[in-house]
Each structure stands twice: as structure tokens, then as C-alpha cells.
Amino acid sequence: MFLGRLNTEQVFPYPSVLTEEQEQTLQELVGPVSRFFEEVNNPAKNDALEKVEDETMKGLKELGAFGLQVPPEFGGLGLNNTQYARLVQIVGQHDLGVGITLGAHQSIGFKGLLLYGTPPQKEKYLPRLATGEMVAAFCLTEPGSGSDAASIRTRATPSPCGTFWTLEGEKIWISNGGLAELFTVFAKTPVKDERTGETKDKITAFLVERAFGGVTHGPPEKKLGIRASNTTSLHFDAVRVPAQNVLGALGGGFKVAMNILNNGRFGMAAAMAGTMRGLLEAAVSHASNRTQFGAKIHEFGAIQEKLGRMALLHYVTESMAFMISANMDRGDPDFQIEAAISKIFGSEAAWAVADECIQVMGGMGFMQEPGVERVLRDLRIFRIFEGTNDILRLFVALQGFQTLGVQLRGVQAALRDPLGNVGVLTGEVTRRLRR
């Protein structure tokens, strides 16, 4: 993209990765999940209670919703990214508070275990995570560390015998913080540089059980939106973490954290596409039934323009979400920029669609009963968490320029000896002319 070359096989024809069996499995899930959210889950009640109802949580566990991407050998459904995105879309259409509860559990909570876990770690935790018996949470943010993740102060100190680490610190705004029994925690650890012999602090990821002792949480936070999700602070007071619970490489925690977030962002675009679908349905229904000036308001050009714009934003977000998930399923390793773009675009598009939905519905949209005001409140956080849109814009630019910089360094070196590097320079000129 930054080199001015389109990787057409990722886009044309639009990627389709599901086998006939996977398509059938997905269709068998779509119906029950949709009916559950239409008939059992009550988003308004969840919002008012500021928690997901117990009956809803029980039903979600029975549906297998807590282990969508856990391999079948560990008791999960073993869905690929495309199948997962489709179900996330349904959740996003009906209740973003429930969506955060499920997403904090599997999209980031134990995603690191799927990506970096050792066979013993997976065997120990995945079966209970898949059933929802054990809920997971992702613990990175601290009072003095938000977007600047590298500045965390939580520490883990190795024992003299080398069999455990002692964890001390505080995390804030942790989704599922009061529900979780397993935490992916990032902490500073002393790491010796094998080359220089110098010891430096580096971030390491740990799998921490509440049962280890010393793990406490604060009261649920009072929030603008996604009130049904549980958000708390977490305190780690001399928590003994077994050495075998290090996740990934010692000192490699920053990479673990970034890859977890990169792998989960496509799901946010899918959720936003679902939310926009629900908002569009609400706006169309109101416009089709509301009469003003002797005509249904959907007949007015101004309303048609709003609905058209809303449909366009939904279509683009949905297309991006499933294109990225399909390319991930095909094994393409280069999806981080696209996933970040989809998160930025989807979260801002959904906010715009919610705003326009309220405008189409007028005073009715401002009332609690239709539920659109709740959706607007819920949506505000999506431009902030899992990488603020401002930081992600910088990430997209940096990643792109790094790739471009590697190529241009080669061209710069070739210019020092143009006669000896005619092939390199000719190739660069040819590529530019083809644009």
C-alpha cells in the first residue's frame, strides 16, 4: 500500500475461505445465537443492572460462546477468524456490553495463550476457559501507563531458586476484572543481555490465577457506556507466579501484548458492522412509519441521503472486517496495518451512524425506550480502547514508512554507484512508471 503496489490476490476476487463444512457449521450457529440475543438477552436490563444477567451468562456458556476459537481438542468450537467475525457481528448488533464481556475473555483475555502458550499451559487452562468455568482478562493498563505501554511499573521479581516470580503492582480499567479467574498480566522483569552481560528491565507476560493468592479487585467502575461489562482495578500483592506460567519469551512481553491486540482488532470491525446493521434497521423502520407533512419521512431526499450514507459506512466496514479475517485464515502474515485501519474506520463510522440514526428518529431517538441512546453511549469507548485511534493512526503511518524506508535505503545506496547498480535503479523507475 505504501509502496504504491496493490496486492490484488488479497482483494480480487473478494476472499472466500470457508469450506462447505465450515459454512454449514457457521449456519448451524448463526440461528441459535441470533435467537438467543433476540429472545433471551435483554440489553436494556443489562445496562440498567450494570452487569450481564446471570441467566444470560449461563445461556452464553451453554452455547459455547466462551470458547469460539478454542481448538476442539480442548473443548472449544474451533472456529476460524471468519466464522468468529460473523458471530461477533451478531453480538455487536444486539448488545455491546455483552460483546465486551465475551471479547475481553477470548479476543484478548486468553488470546496470548492461543498464540504463545506451551502445550502444558494450553492443556491446563483452555478446557476451563472454553466452557466459561474460568473467565479471562487482559491486564496491561496502569494509572501511569495507557498508550505508552512500555512505561508500566508492575514488577515481577524472580525467586533465588528460580521456581517462581513475585508479582507486585496495580492495573486499572480491566474488563472482566471482577469476574476473571485467569489474567494475562504484563510486568517489568530483570533480563540479562547474553551479549553484553548487562541486566535491563524488560516486559514479560505471565498467566496469573486468582487462586494464587494476593490478587484483589476494586469495585466495578461507573462508566458512560458498556455498563453491562465488568470493569475494575486489579491489585497484585506479593503474588507467587510459577516459573512455568511465563507466557512467551522472557522479556518478550511487549511483543506478546502487541500481537494479541493486532490479532483481535479485526473482531472490533465485525462488531461495529453488526452495530451499524442494527442502527440502520432502527432508522429505516422509523422513517417508514413516521408521517410528517402528509408523507412518510423516508420519501424526503434529506432522509434518503442520511440512510444512504449510513448504508455505505456499514457496507465498507463489513467488507473490511471479512476481507481481513479471510486473509488471516489464508495464512497471510501481513494484516496488522489493515486491522488497525478497520478498527479506526469502523469505530468512527459506527459513531457517525448512531448519531445519524438519532437524527432520523428525532426526539424518539433521544429517548431511552428505543435503545439507540444506549448504543451511542456504548460506542464511545471503541475509539479509545485496544489502541486509541490517534495512536493507531501513528502506528499505520510508522509501519508503512518503515516498509518504504527499507526499499528507499536500497535505492539510496544504489545512487552512490549508479553505473554499478543499473538494474536496481531501472527496476525502481519501472515500478514508479507502472503506478
Catalytic positions, please?
386
What stretch of H or E contains 291? strand 291-292
CA 413 – CA 411 distance, rounded (Å): 5
Q: Report yes or no: 432 and 28 within 8 Å, Cβ to Cβ.
A: no
Q: Which residues contact 412 (CB under 8 A, 6 or more apart)?
A: none
In 3D space, the residue among 136, 155, 122, 114 whose CA is nearest the CA of residue 244 turns out to be: 122
Q: Which residues contact 395 (CB under 8 A, 6 or more apart)?
A: 337, 340, 387
CA 142 – CA 154 distance, rounded (Å): 8
E-strand ranges in 122-264 read 136-139, 155-158, 164-175, 182-192, 199-209, 215-217, 231-242, 246-247
Phi-psi region of 32 (alpha: psi -120 to 50; beta: other; left: phi over 0): alpha
Q: Which residues contact 175 (CB under 8 A, 6 or more apart)?
A: 100, 101, 103, 104, 137, 138, 229, 230, 231
E-strand ranges in 176-282 read 182-192, 199-209, 215-217, 231-242, 246-247
- Tell me how many helices (H) and strands (E) the chain has: 14, 10
Sign of torsion, CA 240 246 250 254? negative
Three-state SS for 295? strand
> How far apart, in Å, are the Cα atoms of 282 and each of 30, 275, 324, 331, 366?
21, 11, 28, 38, 13
Q: Which residues contact 252 (CB under 8 A, 6 or more apart)?
A: 202, 204, 205
Which parts of 330-388 fold into alpha helices (H)? 336-361, 363-366, 372-379
- β-pairing, 182-192 vs 136-139, is parallel
- Residue 275 C-alpha cell reads as 452495530
The single-letter code of the amino acid at 322 is F
